[in-house]
Amino acid sequence: MADIGKKAKILIVDDIPANIKILAEILKSKYDILMATSGAKALQAVANHDIGLVLLDIEMPQMDGYEVCRRLKADTKTGDIPVIFVTAKIDMSNETMGFEVGAVDYITKPISPPVVIARIQTHLQNRELNLSLQNTNLSLEKSNDFIRKTFGRYMSDEVVENILDSPEGLRLGGEKKFVTVMMTDLRGFTAIGERLSPEEVISMLNMYLEIMTQIIFKYKGTIIEFLGDGILALFGAPVTRDDDAQRAVACALEMQQKMPEVNRKFKEHGYEEVTMGGGLNTGQVVAGNIGSDLRSKYGVVGNAINLAARIESFTVGGQILISENTLQACTAELQIDDQWSVRAKGLEKPIAVYQIGGISEPYNIHLPQPEKIDFQPIKDGPTIRLTIIEGKVAERHSHDGKLIALVPPLALISTTLLARKLTDIQVELVDKQGLTLTNQLYGKILGIDTEASCMKVQFTSIPPEANQIFQQLLGTNID
């Protein structure tokens, strides 16, 4: 554990000194800053100092950021140091590569100071929490050498007990496992985090993760990573059961059911409400103990994880989407509220996804059916500019539209824009003089009526200034 009052040391690695200077100016009041302009110098700095976290550029000569991260994670002395990539690379494959080599987060340039500070604070606290959990485990009856060497993160008691009974529990290496992967994420949380202090961001995350962790353990899931406000969990590794897929679906549904409780806690502390999306996929992965005889962690790799992440990216708040493989692996009857084909990045053919609203006995969990939507027509509403977002990158050109009906977070927009269902968009509201009222509205397209030149949009992030505009348009308060 770090000394109370002692500043954490942050190592900033970038071959461009100007980039280092920008980050150092942001962080120097809160942390001790070390700098390195190459991968080799970064490894030397980590070897000579007690580094708390590394901010790492990807594109560097001689040794790129991926290789630096691999070497840090391969060394038992530095394997638990959180690594955050700070880079202009914003392709989904780059993010996936970053997480596969061991990074805990990914920040794109140009950077937002509140986001950088919040994420650093989160991962430093997560590291402290992991160390605290390891020390606590030492006092438990079954916290023997196996626990110290294998588990550096959350595991349910049942999973620990099952692995303790295995004579192969300490063996390093991996094995092929057929699992169901669950990825969840809070919609609009990044934008909310930019309006809060780092302490408030961490408070929100801890309240959310405390509730969700209990549910995952209840359904015998294994939490692999907390990715900021995202959760990566497995059902089927390290312990395989016949009902892994349907337990995963039941778990995701109960997590969704608990979101009103999460938001009540948020409201009590003066925080904004959020929504959660969840994506599930079933397939083969390689899972096992990664590390050395001195320190190891339970990890997992495979395309099944990437596909789960892509499915989750199609969700809007309140949705649970599953793949065809997960549907077929479930023996319990599922309530399918919707289904469609989507084109996931990196895949040649469209894949089928299913929106799940419930699961039958023995779980008997069902999400509330959506109420009938009575849109309120908007007369003389603001002009709208729509920009399609592909892989977190906004297109250069925008499309004109008009807000014609509203019931937040849903809206009907008149436009000639043609786009696929579940396409991410940025929405800019413009007044009669052509001045931007807000450009921080984000949403997903739920459907398009080509004959009426109209699209249905669900906003995934509504900033306060947009909420105020909506209240004025509706002529009433919006909770």
For every residue of the chain, which 3-state class applies, written as one string? CCCCCCCCEEEEECCCHHHHHHHHHHHCCCCEEEEECCHHHHHHHHHHCCCCEEEECCCCCCCCHHHHHHHHHHCCCCCCCCEEEEECCCCHHHHHHHHHCCCCEEEECCCCHHHHHHHHHHHHHHHHHHHHHHHHHCCCCCCCHHHHHHCCCCCCHHHHHHHHCCCCCCCCEEEEEEEEEEEEEEECHHHHHHCCCHHHHHHHHHHHHHHHHHHHHHCCCEEEEEECCEEEEEECCCCCCCCHHHHHHHHHHHHHHCHHHHHHHHHHCCCCCCEEEEEEEEEEEEEEEEECCCCEEEEEECHHHHHHHHHHHCCCCCCEEEEHHHHHHCCCCEEEEEEEEECCCCCCCCEEEEEEEEECCCCCEECCCCCCCCCEECCCCCEEEEEEEECCEECCCCEEEEEEEEECCEEEEEECCCCCCCCEEEEEEECCCCCEEEEEEEEEEEEEECCCCEEEEEEEECCHHHHHHHHHHHCCCCC
Q: What percent of the chain has pLDDT over 70?
A: 86
The fold of the 150-366 domain, in CATH, is: Alpha-Beta Plaits (3.30.70)
pLDDT at 479 over 70: no
Q: Average pLDDT of 125-136?
A: 78
Instruction: Using pLDDT thresholds of 50, 70 and 90, give the confidence band for residue 431.
Output: confident
Q: Where are the domains of the chain?
A: 9-121, 150-366, 376-474
pLDDT at 322 over 60: yes
Which range in 188-197, 276-285, 368-377 is most confidently predicted, on average pLDDT? 276-285
The whole-number pLDDT of residue 143 equals 46
pLDDT at 302 over 90: no
- 461 vs 412: CA distance, rounded Å: 16
The whole-number pLDDT of residue 148 equals 39
Q: What percent of the chain has pLDDT over 90?
A: 43
pLDDT at 253 over 80: yes
- 344 vs 307: CA distance, rounded Å: 8
The whole-number pLDDT of residue 147 equals 46
pLDDT at 405 over 50: yes
Instruction: Using pLDDT thresholds of 50, 70 and 90, give the confidence band for residue 243.
Output: very high
Two structure tokens written together for 346: 């990196």
Q: Compute the mean pLDDT over every residue in the chain, rounded to the nearest whole number.
A: 84
CATH of domain 376-474: 2.40.10.220
Instruction: Using pLDDT thresholds of 50, 70 and 90, give the confidence band for residue 408.
Output: confident
**Inter-residue contact 457 to 473 (CB < 8 Å):** no
Q: Among 103-107, 124-128, 275-279, 458-462, which stretch is predicted with the lowest mean pLDDT?
A: 458-462
Q: Average pLDDT of 172-189?
A: 85
Q: Among 152-156, 265-269, 449-453, which stretch is predicted with the lowest mean pLDDT?
A: 152-156
Q: Give the closest residue to 10 by CA, choosing from 2, 18, 290, 98.
A: 2
The whole-number pLDDT of residue 297 equals 62
pLDDT at 41 over 50: yes
Q: Given the structure tokens 């992030």, which residue do they identify?
A: 461
- 360 vs 362: CA distance, rounded Å: 6
Instruction: Using pLDDT thresholds of 50, 70 and 90, give the confidence band for residue 121.
Output: very high
CATH of domain 9-121: 3.40.50.2300
Instruction: Using pLDDT thresholds of 50, 70 and 90, give the confidence band for residue 460.
Output: confident
